[in-house]
Amino acid sequence: MAPITLIDTVLLNQASALARASARGRRNLNFHGDDAERCHRLLNAVEPGSYVAPHRHLDPGKSETITVLRGRFGVVIFSDAGEVLQRACLTADGPVLGINIEAGTWHTLLALEPGSVFLEAKAGPFLPLHETERAPWAPREGEAGVAAFLDRMQGLFPPPLATQNPE
């Protein structure tokens, strides 16, 4: 691993190109060496239409911090029953640049414009989600209902005024 990695537009463009080429519409570039490391730092490039199924991390040490470097994201926080409790629009130019999500919080994230990339920091090691960390009230990736769920989440975040069509 190189002693430094510059987080510049070249790297963001590379991450976005990998996300566009991915069947899932997203791709991470890890700065940590392997999944066993105690501190995970990564770029996450996400394209509109990518489905990050609502989930939570039950390990008390698994809070995650997200800072947007480019683009626009919507973050949705849910109750245990799947009701929307809070939503936030994150953009690189603010007013909200990022979010810290405490362990145990049901959440999802969606890209609201192409080329969106965020920096994520969380505790390692990486462990696949346990069944109790997957939202029982939301479709799984690849299941019927994903498109409708994404449409509903997208509807929580109207486009910025500058890009809305005048009526």
CATH of the domain at 36: 2.60.120.10
Give the separation between CA 17 and CA 28, rounded to whole angstroms: 11
Task: Give the helix/strand (H/E) hosting 101.
Answer: strand 98-101
pLDDT range class, residue 48, cuts 50, 70, 90: very high
Q: Is residue 162 part of a domain?
A: no
Q: What is the pLDDT of residues 83-142, one digit of tens each?
A: 999 999 999 999 999 999 999 999 999 999 999 999 999 999 998 999 999 999 999 999
Over range 143-167, report the average pLDDT.
Answer: 86
pLDDT range class, residue 161, cuts 50, 70, 90: confident
DSSP codes of every residue in 80-128 = TTS-EEEEEEEETTSS--EEEE-TT-EEEEEESSTTEEEEEEEESS--P
Q: Find tokens 């919080």 and name the residue.
A: 105
> Above 80 in pLDDT, residue 12?
yes
Q: Is residue 32 part of a domain?
A: yes
Q: Is residue 117 part of a domain?
A: yes
Give the separation between CA 29 and CA 41, rounded to whole angstroms: 9
Give the separation between CA 162 and CA 32, rounded to whole angstroms: 38
> Above 60 in pLDDT, residue 167?
no
Q: Is residue 1 part of a domain?
A: no
pLDDT of res. 164? 56
Give the separation between CA 123 and CA 53, rounded to whole angstroms: 20
Q: Is residue 163 part of a domain?
A: no
Number of domains composing the chain: 1
Q: Is residue 33 part of a domain?
A: yes
pTM: 0.92
Q: Is residue 101 part of a domain?
A: yes
Q: Is residue 40 part of a domain?
A: yes
> Can you give the residue range of the structural domain that contains 115?
9-127+138-157
Count CA atoms closer than 13 A to 33's CA, side-chain side: 7
How far is C-alpha 16 from the geometric centre of its chain's CA atoms? 13
